[in-house]
Amino acid sequence: MKCLARTLIICEKPDAARRLADALTESKPASYRKYGLTYYELKKENDILTICPALGHLYTVGSKEEVPRRRYPVWDYVWKPIHEVEKGRERQQEWLRAIEELGREADHFINACDFDIEGSLIGYMILKYACQAEEKAGRMKYSTLTKTDLNNAYLNVSSNLDYDIVKAGMCRHEIDWLYGINFSRALTESARKHSERYTTISTGRVQGPTLNFIVEREIEVKSFKPTSYWTIEVTVDVDGTIVKAQYSKKTLETETEANHIVENVKGKSGKINDFKETKMKVSPPYPFDLTTIQTEAHRHFHTSPSQTLRILENLYLQALISYPRTSSQKLSPSIGYRTIFNGIARCPEYKNLSSELLTGATLKPVEGKKFDPAHPAIYPTGAMSKTSIEPRARKFLDLIIKRFMAVFASAALRLNQKASFIVNKEYQFYINGSRIIEQGWFKYYHPYVKPTETIIPPVEIGKEVVVKEIFAQKHFTTPPPRYNPSSLIKEMDNKEIGTKATRAGIIDTLYKRGYIVDEAIRPTLLATKVIEVLTEHCPRIIDVSFTRELEIQMNKIETGETSHRAVVTDAIRQLKIIFEKIASQEKEIGKELSEAIMESKTQSVTLKTPCPNCGASLRIIRSKRTKKRFIGCSGAIKGECRFSLPLMQFGILKILDTFCKKCGFQLVSIKSKGKRPIISCPKCYVEGLANRRES
DNA sequence: GCAAGGTC
Q: Residue A291: what residue type?
A: T
Using an 8 Å Cβ cutoff, are A129 and A59 in contact? yes
Q: Look up residue A401 and give its DSSP letter.
A: H
| Strand B proximal to A303 Cβ, under 7 A | no
User: Which nucleotide is nearest, taking the CA of residue A207 and each C1'?
Assistant: B3
User: Which nucleotide is nearest, taking the CA of residue A85 and each C1'?
Assistant: B2
Task: Name the residue ranges covered by the structural domains of chain A.
Answer: 5-161, 170-222+498-597, 228-284+412-476, 290-408, 607-694
Using an 8 Å Cβ cutoff, are A368 and A342 in contact? no
| Element at A527 (helix H, strand E) | helix A525-537
Give A365-408 pLDDT, tens digit per residue. Answer: 999 999 988 889 999 998 877 677 888 999 999 999 999 999 99
Query: Does the structure show a pLDDT above 80 at A655?
Result: no
Closest protein residue to B1 (Cα–C1') = A200
User: Which nucleotide is nearest, taking the CA of residue A179 and each C1'?
Assistant: B3
**Nearest by Cα to A272 from A55, A422, A124:** A422
**Per residue in A480-489, is it b (16+ CB within 10 Å) or e — as a string?**
eebbbbbbbb
| Strand B proximal to A203 Cβ, under 7 A | yes
Which DSSP string do the residues of A369-390 spell out, in sequence order? Answer: S---SS---B-B--PPPSSPPP
Q: Which of residues 90-119 of A touch strand B (CB under 7 A)?
A: 91-92, 114, 116, 118
DSSP alpha helix (H) spans, A253-372: 255-265, 290-301, 305-317, 337-345, 348-359
Cα–Cα distance between A643 and A638 in angstroms, integer? 13
Cα–Cα distance between A270 and A429 in angstroms, integer? 9
Across the range A239-266, mean pLDDT stands at 94
Across the range A116-135, mean pLDDT stands at 94
pLDDT at A662: 80
Across the range A341-360, mean pLDDT stands at 88
Alpha carbon distances (Å) from A113 to A31, A317, A319: 19, 19, 20
| Strand B proximal to A22 Cβ, under 7 A | no
Which DSSP string do the residues of A207-270 spell out, in sequence order? Answer: HHHHHHHHHHHHHHHHT----EEEEEEEEEEETTEEEEEEESSS-BS-HHHHHHHHHHHTT-EE
Whole-number distance in Å between A74 CA and B6 C1': 24
User: End-to-end distance of chain A based on CA atoms, in angstroms?
Assistant: 98
Chain Cα centroid distance, residue A476: 31
Alpha carbon distances (Å) from A471 to A239, A255, A258, A322, A468: 22, 11, 8, 55, 10
Whole-number distance in Å between A522 CA and B1 C1': 24
Using an 8 Å Cβ cutoff, are A415 and A277 in contact? yes
More confident residue, A693 or A409: A409
Crossing angle, helix A147-155 and helix A14-24, to 10 degrees?
80
Average pLDDT over chain A, rounded to an integer: 90
Query: Does the structure show a pLDDT above 70 at A692?
Result: no
Closest protein residue to B4 (Cα–C1') = A176
% of chain A with per-residue pLDDT over 90: 70
Q: Which of residues 487-506 of A touch strand B (CB under 7 A)?
A: 497-503, 506
Which DSSP string do the residues of A48-61 spell out, in sequence order? Answer: EEEEEE--S-SEEE
| Strand B proximal to A82 Cβ, under 7 A | yes
User: Which nucleotide is nearest, taking the CA of residue A206 and each C1'?
Assistant: B4
pLDDT at A615: 76
Q: Could you name the CATH architecture of A228-284+412-476?
A: Distorted Sandwich (2.70)
Whole-number distance in Å between A529 CA and B5 C1': 27
Give A429-481 pLDDT, tens digit per residue. Answer: 999 999 999 999 999 999 999 999 999 999 999 999 999 999 999 999 999 99
Looking at domain A290-408, its CATH class is mainly alpha
Question: Bridge-partner residues for A413, per DSSP?
Answer: A281, A438
Nucleotides of B under 7 A from a protein CB: 1-8
| Strand B proximal to A207 Cβ, under 7 A | yes
Q: Residue A145: what residue type?
A: L
Using an 8 Å Cβ cutoff, are A366 and A286 in contact? yes
User: Which nucleotide is nearest, taking the CA of residue A199 and each C1'?
Assistant: B1
pLDDT confidence band for A2 (50 / 70 / 90): low
**Nearest by Cα to A429 from A231, A654, A172:** A231
Query: Does the structure show a pLDDT above 80 at A78?
Result: yes
| Strand B proximal to A543 Cβ, under 7 A | no
Closest protein residue to B8 (Cα–C1') = A55
pLDDT confidence band for A569 (50 / 70 / 90): very high
Q: Which of residues 305-324 of A touch strand B (CB under 7 A)?
A: 313, 317
pLDDT confidence band for A665 (50 / 70 / 90): confident
| Strand B proximal to A76 Cβ, under 7 A | no
Q: Which of residues 140-199 of A touch strand B (CB under 7 A)?
A: 172-173, 176-177, 180-181, 184-185, 188, 198
pLDDT at A605: 75
Across the range A110-132, mean pLDDT stands at 95
User: Which nucleotide is nearest, taking the CA of residue A189 and each C1'?
Assistant: B2
Across the range A103-113, mean pLDDT stands at 93
**Nearest by Cα to A184 from A206, A200, A205, A197:** A200
Give A141-172 pLDDT, tens digit per residue. Answer: 887 777 888 888 898 899 999 999 999 999 99
pLDDT at A610: 74
Cα–Cα distance between A313 and A322 in angstroms, integer? 9
Closest protein residue to B7 (Cα–C1') = A56
| Element at A177 (helix H, strand E) | helix A163-195
Give A670-687 pLDDT, tens digit per residue. Answer: 766 556 567 778 888 777
% of chain A with per-residue pLDDT over 70: 96
If 0-12 CB within 10 Å is exposed, 13-18 middle and 19+ buried, where does residue A565 land?
Answer: exposed
Using an 8 Å Cβ cutoff, are A315 and A323 in contact? no
| Strand B proximal to A522 Cβ, under 7 A | no
Give A88-98 pLDDT, tens digit per residue. Answer: 999 999 999 99
Q: What is the CATH number of domain A5-161?
A: 3.40.50.140
User: Which nucleotide is nearest, taking the CA of residue A13 and each C1'?
Assistant: B7
Give A40-66 pLDDT, tens digit per residue. Answer: 999 888 889 999 999 999 999 999 988
Query: Does the structure show a pLDDT above 90 at A360?
Result: no
**Nearest by Cα to A374 from A150, A144, A56:** A144
pLDDT confidence band for A21 (50 / 70 / 90): very high
| Strand B proximal to A327 Cβ, under 7 A | no
Closest protein residue to B3 (Cα–C1') = A180
pLDDT at A236: 96
Q: Which of residues 41-70 of A touch strand B (CB under 7 A)?
A: 55-58, 60-63, 69-70
Using an 8 Å Cβ cutoff, are A44 and A157 in contact? no
Whole-number distance in Å between A318 CA and B8 C1': 13
User: Which nucleotide is nearest, taking the CA of residue A16 and each C1'?
Assistant: B7
Catalytic residue IDs of A: 323
Query: Does the structure show a pLDDT above 90 at A664?
Result: no
Q: Other C-beta atoms within 10 Å of A301: how many?
A: 14
pLDDT at A513: 95
Q: Residue A318: what residue type?
A: Q
pLDDT at A199: 93
pLDDT at A398: 95
pLDDT confidence band for A646 (50 / 70 / 90): confident
Chain Cα centroid distance, residue A121: 25
Residues 6+ apart with CB under 8 A from A158: A138, A139, A140, A141
| Strand B proximal to A87 Cβ, under 7 A | yes
Whole-number distance in Å between A318 CA and B7 C1': 16
Cα–Cα distance between A541 and A75 in angstroms, integer? 17
Cα–Cα distance between A377 and A398 in angstroms, integer? 16
| Strand B proximal to A13 Cβ, under 7 A | yes
Crossing angle, helix A564-584 and helix A163-195, to 10 degrees?
10
Using an 8 Å Cβ cutoff, are A13 and A325 in contact? no
Q: Which long-range contacts (CB under 8 A, 24 or more apart) does A352-359 make?
A: A353/A405, A353/A443, A353/A444, A354/A405, A357/A405, A357/A408, A357/A409, A357/A444
Across the range A178-204, mean pLDDT stands at 95
Q: Can you give the C-alpha Rg of chain A in angstroms? A: 32
Whole-number distance in Å between A12 CA and B6 C1': 8
| Strand B proximal to A12 Cβ, under 7 A | yes
pLDDT at A262: 95
pLDDT at A389: 84
Considering the four listed CATH numbers 1.10.3720.10, 3.60.21.10, 1.10.460.10, 3.60.150.10, the one that applies to the domain covering A170-222+498-597 is 1.10.460.10
